Amino acid sequence: MGGFPTLLYKELLRFWKVSFQTVAAPVLTALLYLVVFAYALGDRVRMFEQVSYAQFLVPGLVMMSVLQNAFANSSSSLIQSKVSGNLVFMMLPPISYLEFFGAYVLASMVRGLVVGTGVLLVTVWFVDLHVAAPAWVLLFALLGAAILGALGLIAGIWADRFEQIAAFQNFVILPLTFLSGVFYSIHSLPALWQAASHLNPFFYMIDGFRFGFFGVSDFPPRASLAVVAVSFALLSSACLLLLRSGYKLRQ
């Protein structure tokens, strides 16, 4: 297993060396969302009883940051290696595809959780927040980060240029996160859009994560956990098959 800790260290060092860009910038972006939305709409909007709009917003922003940064870590790392030509140096050593998958996904989880923790620590200065079920918070954060880390690997394998990764993030990841209930409860939507929201796997990640803070949610948390776990299993299986075949990596 010598290859796994080395590759993991390389991936962790890659994002930590530019932490001002990879950690501080997303934290600032989330804080701006809180200031703009919470203070502009806070007195006029209430999603749950006994929960202010600012309180409602914070878990969504934390989870959105976790998901987006977990995806960005694995996808950007792999496409950089492909474009710069140094991917061959990771293909030649006897590193199994399981080690490759584990190192990239685990590093993505670390980055996502570091950014999410930073967002939480900054926003609690402005919002009085309590955690009703810490285990649910941690479980959904870990699974959500792992899913987006695996999805980022799939995107990095598929893409040949930076523009393709940017397109994947702009036309897939951003819409799915923004339309997943980060800024609203799906019960405030018309019936058609509520049904459409249930087709979005990001909704279950954010709704289950929010349940850990307030003890209330738009969807039963155990059902959300089942959807998230199945999503992780499917994406991980697809990613491992691609890595094992060497698709767009060994050619």
Q: Is 135 helix (H, G, I), strand (E, B) or coil?
A: helix
Most confident of 2-6, 82-86, 222-226: 222-226
What mean pLDDT comes out for the span 237-251? 89
Nearest to 247 by CA among 123, 184, 155, 157: 157
Counting residues of the chain whose pLDDT is more than 70, the rounded percentage is 96
Residue type, 16: W
CB contact at 8 A, 179 and 200: yes
- Average pLDDT for residues 205-218, to the nearest whole number? 93
Residue 234 has what pLDDT?
97
Instruction: Encode pLDDT of 141-192 as tens digits.
Output: 999 999 999 999 999 999 999 999 999 999 999 999 988 989 888 888 888 8
pLDDT in tens, 85-108: 888 887 777 888 999 999 999 999
The DSSP symbol for 50 reads T
Can you give the pLDDT at residue 240?
Answer: 96
pTM for this entry: 0.93
Kindly state the average pLDDT of the residues 210-217: 92
**Among the ranges given (88-92, 147-151, 204-208, 217-221), the one the predictor scored with the smallest mean pLDDT:** 88-92
How does pLDDT run across 19-58, given as a tens digit for each residue?
Answer: 999 999 999 999 999 888 877 766 666 667 778 888 889 9
How many angstroms separate the CA atoms of 46 and 31, rounded?
Answer: 20
> How confident is the model over 53-72, as a mean pLDDT?
94
Q: Please choose, from the candidates 68, 77, 71, the residue with its C-alpha nearest in 3D space to the C-alpha of residue 16.
A: 77
The confidence score (pLDDT) of residue 126 equals: 85
What gap in Å lies between CA 53 and CA 56, rounded to an integer?
Answer: 5
- Reference 182, options 65, 68, 61; nearest CA is 61
- 124 band by pLDDT with thresholds 50, 70 and 90: confident
Residue 127 CB neighbours (<10 A)? 16
| Residue-range domain boundaries for the chain | 3-245
Token pair belonging to 135: 């285990």
